[in-house]
Amino acid sequence: MYACIHAPGNLPLLLECARGFSPHIEEISPDTIVFDVRGLASLYGPPPQLAREIDRRIGLSANIAIAANPDAAIHAARGFPGITVIQPGRESAALAPLPINLLQGSPDTAEILDLWGIRTFGDFAKLPPLGVAARLGEEGVCLQSLARGEGNRQLRPIEDPLQFEEAVELEYPVDLLEPLSFILARLLNEVCRRLGARALATNEIRLRLTLENAPEHFTILRLPVPMLDPAAFLKMLQLDLSGNPPAAPVLKAELTAEPVKPRRTQHGLFVSMSPEPEKLELTIARIRHFTGPDKTGAAELIDTHRPDSFVMRPFSPGTASQTQTHSNPRLALRRFRPPKYAQVILANDRPARINSPSISGAVVTAKGPWRTSGDWWTQDPWNRDEWDIETSAGGLYRLYQELDSRRWFLEGSYD
Amino acid sequence: MTALAQLREIAPGFQKREDSGKLSTGIPAIDQLSSGGIARGALTEICGPPSSGRTSLLFALLSHATRQGECCAWIDAAGTFDPHSAAEAGADLDRVLWVNCNGNTEHALKAVDLLTQGGGFGMVVLDIADAAERDIRRISLASWFRLRHAAERTGAALIVLETSVTARSCSTLQLAMKRKRPIWTGKLLCGIHVEAESRKHYRSQSADFTAVCI
């Protein structure tokens, strides 16, 4: 069975009402939609009750028709006022009184039918099919089939643009995070509900806050894995907003979620445990709240010889990669960030004594220099001599001298 | 009735700690010293003065753990973690969550608490070797107990890298590192000979290994 709603004007309202009954909705014209209501009898009862329920929900004056095929329902809704229910098999009789212009054939066909004196669906349905085919061709046959209520086509459902946006304009400005959290929770719940209804998740949430007498405030949550947990999103937004609060009271909040397919993984029985990504993301957000945004993640080395060059990227452990194994452990460097400035006394062009705020003493052994330089073609070149030194206190350090400024620095300690 | 049985009767929750397995360091001498490796679900302290090979040992462990597919976390109180050294040691940096607390020991403790309680990590390292002495002294024994219980519950190997023993009775194993001598060749440092001493065994034992440069 198919239901058709015909009401002038408010197409979004018609679509919203139809979505409450079926995901398969075809938009016929700006004032008419038809949708599939098969299988709804167990929920709403027989077709007359279903039609009354549609009428109750739509809340405005509309023609509603239910029929066994979409075209019969459309013609009935356009032609009969109020609620019309056509029992299966009785389409031809039910549609017979409708005026022929509802068939919406081509102007030539309409003119011929007018010349023949055909005024209603019933008049047209009574004509012999072979004669109609001979005189009006394929179009005539199709129109006569519609006039008899024999249409048997499939619906062409409209596809909603996948935009998951929610917005709320506030009656008065909100200047505290707690009341704003309630508003964000509502928006997140609604967006997540809509995503969940389409079996989707999100990997990016954008929040735009319109402020009172201040530029807009933007926040973007980028997630390493698709998630659909409004509570976790709310906590992340709260942490973000408490660390980077809006500059003025909030007048309007708009939330957009990027729809993606949810994460589906099958873990092996013998694979090492790893943190649950959704939970881990929230934990990392909590840690970032006090360490700062670029201080937590996985380090990625950059393909350059410049010392201490790496970028911090979001931690998202994939499958274990095969790294090189060594028979002996490698000597590690503990890097001072930033390098510690040091005063160095030379003897025979080699460091003999070092003085820095935390490390000072005689240099027992000094090996070097190891000259490195690079990026001389950029604005930020480096050019230095490196020394490995052992102090009288027993520490092993990497010391270097910037050749341009002739200043000495401790880069780190070997450990 | 033995004392242990009496204790179990008084405190039903008191049970012998289950052995949750060991994480091999990849250094046979250290594995032998620690009876198979660093214990999971327990707190281990690796201590020693600067340049005593503590970080080299942990990078070897990090390399071995990440190669086995473990996710590891390195909570770096002073911000001295060197990803280049870790990568040269063979660690898979994609599986290492680095938390750089930039000199704030309190933040490091918060982070290690969150990560250990959250579970899922095979190894969690708290590096307070370069943290300020007064900050380390401020860490209460209750905090260490809390961390130890979290590690027991989640099965993570919680390792503290430090200058001197801090967690005291909360740690299952204490490895005291000592540099024996550096190895110099040509123009630069080539490596160091290191001695590790296990302090929590009935009779302290020691083992030697060498950490080398590339």
Q: A269 in a domain, yes or no?
A: no
Q: Do A110 and A180 reside in the same domain of the chain?
A: no
Q: A299 in a domain, yes or no?
A: no
Q: A357 in a domain, yes or no?
A: yes
Q: Is the pLDDT of residue B29 over 60?
A: yes
Q: A296 in a domain, yes or no?
A: no
| Exposure string for A52-83, b = 16+ CB within 10 A, e = fewer | ebbbeebeeebbbbbbbbbbbbbbbbbbbeeb
Q: Which residues of A touch B51 (CB under 8 A)?
A: 394-397, 413-415
Cα separation, A10 vs A60, whole angstroms: 10
**B53 backbone φψ class: left, alpha, beta (φ>0; ψ -120 to 50):** left
For residue B23, what are the contacts with CB-CB under 8 A and spacing of at least 6? B37, B38, B39, B40, B61, B64, B65, B70, B122, B123, B157
> What is the pLDDT averaged over residues B120-134?
92
Q: Do A126 and A169 reside in the same domain of the chain?
A: no
Q: CA of A36, closest CA in chain B: separation in Å? A: 47
Q: CA of B168, closest CA in chain A: separation in Å? A: 23
Nearest-CB residue to A334 (from B55, B83, B93): B55
Q: Do B49 and A317 touch (CB under 8 A)?
A: no
Which residues 156-195 of chain B have a CB within 8 Å of chain A?
179, 182, 184, 186-189, 191-192
Give the end of a domain, one of A198, A229, A260: A260
**pLDDT one-digit tens code per residue, B59-89:** 999 999 998 888 999 999 999 999 999 999 9
Q: What percent of chain B has pLDDT over 90?
A: 57
Q: A131 in a domain, yes or no?
A: yes
ipTM of the complex: 0.89
The answer to whether residue A301 neighbours chain B at the CB level (below 8 Å) is: yes
Q: Do A414 and B189 touch (CB under 8 A)?
A: yes
Q: Judge whether A83 and A52 are in contact, CB under 8 Å.
A: yes
pLDDT at B58: 94
Q: Do A326 and B89 touch (CB under 8 A)?
A: yes
pLDDT at A322: 63
For residue A120, the domain's CATH number is 3.30.70.270
Q: Do A291 and B101 touch (CB under 8 A)?
A: yes
Q: Do A139 and A173 reside in the same domain of the chain?
A: no
Instruction: List the one residue out of B143, B144, B147 whose CA is nearest residue B168.
Output: B144
Chain B residue with minimum CA distance to A306:
B84
**pLDDT one-digit tens code per residue, B3-28:** 656 656 655 555 555 556 888 888 88
The answer to whether residue B6 neighbours chain A at the CB level (below 8 Å) is: no
Nearest-CB residue to A315 (from B49, B97, B182): B97
Q: A281 in a domain, yes or no?
A: no
Mean of per-residue pLDDT scores for chain B: 87
Which residues 376-415 of chain A have a CB within 8 Å of chain B?
386, 388, 390, 394-397, 412-415
Provide the 8-state DSSP code for A120. B
Q: Do A61 and A35 reside in the same domain of the chain?
A: yes
Q: Which residues of A touch B93 (CB under 8 A)?
A: 298-301
Q: Do A51 and A134 reside in the same domain of the chain?
A: yes
Q: Do A25 and A128 reside in the same domain of the chain?
A: yes
Q: Do A271 and B214 touch (CB under 8 A)?
A: no
Q: Do B213 and A323 touch (CB under 8 A)?
A: no
Q: Which residues of A touch B111 (CB under 8 A)?
A: 287, 290-291, 296
The answer to whether residue A44 neighbours chain B at the CB level (below 8 Å) is: no
Q: A273 in a domain, yes or no?
A: no
Instruction: List the one residue out of B204, B183, B163 whose CA is nearest residue B55.
Output: B163
Strand ranges in A45-136 using DSSP code E only, listed in sequence order: 63-67, 83-85
Q: CA of A398, closest CA in chain B: separation in Å? A: 9
Q: Do A191 and A251 reside in the same domain of the chain?
A: yes
Provide the 8-state DSSP code for A101. G
Which residues 251-280 of chain A have a CB within 8 Å of chain B?
271-276, 279-280
pLDDT at A373: 92
Q: Which residues of A touch B187 (CB under 8 A)?
A: 367-370
User: For strand B22-23 and strand A408-414, is the pairing parallel, antiparallel, or unpaired?
Assistant: unpaired
Q: Do B120 and A273 touch (CB under 8 A)?
A: yes
Give the end of a domain, one of A220, A243, A260: A260
Q: Do A138 and A190 reside in the same domain of the chain?
A: no
Q: Which residues of A touch B214 (CB under 8 A)?
A: 330
Q: Do A182 and A113 reside in the same domain of the chain?
A: no
> What is the pLDDT averaged over residues B37-63?
93
pLDDT at A325: 66
Q: List domains and CATH numbers for chain B.
A: 21-212 (3.40.50.300)
Q: Output the tens digit of pLDDT for each of chain A's 415 residues.
A: 899 998 887 788 888 888 888 888 888 888 888 998 888 888 888 888 988 888 888 888 888 999 988 888 998 888 888 888 988 888 888 888 888 888 888 888 888 888 888 888 888 888 888 888 888 888 888 888 888 888 778 888 887 677 889 999 998 899 898 999 999 999 999 999 989 988 899 999 999 999 998 899 999 998 888 889 999 999 999 999 988 899 999 999 999 999 999 887 777 777 677 888 888 888 999 999 889 888 999 999 999 999 999 999 988 887 666 666 667 789 999 999 999 999 999 999 999 999 998 889 999 999 989 999 998 998 889 999 999 999 999 899 999 999 989 999 999 999 9
Cα separation, B88 vs B79, whole angstroms: 19
Q: A30 in a domain, yes or no?
A: yes
Q: Is the pLDDT of residue B214 over 60?
A: no
Which residues 13-32 of chain B have a CB within 8 Å of chain A?
26-27
**A203 backbone φψ class: left, alpha, beta (φ>0; ψ -120 to 50):** alpha
Q: Do A13 and A137 reside in the same domain of the chain?
A: yes
C-alpha R_g of chain B: 17
Q: CA of B56, closest CA in chain A: separation in Å? A: 5
Give the end of a domain, one of A227, A260, A293: A260
Q: Do A295 and B102 touch (CB under 8 A)?
A: yes
Q: Do A234 and A352 reside in the same domain of the chain?
A: no
Q: Do A58 and A184 reside in the same domain of the chain?
A: no
For residue A218, the domain's CATH number is 3.30.1490.100
Q: Which domain holds residue A108?
A: 2-147
Number of domains in chain A: 3
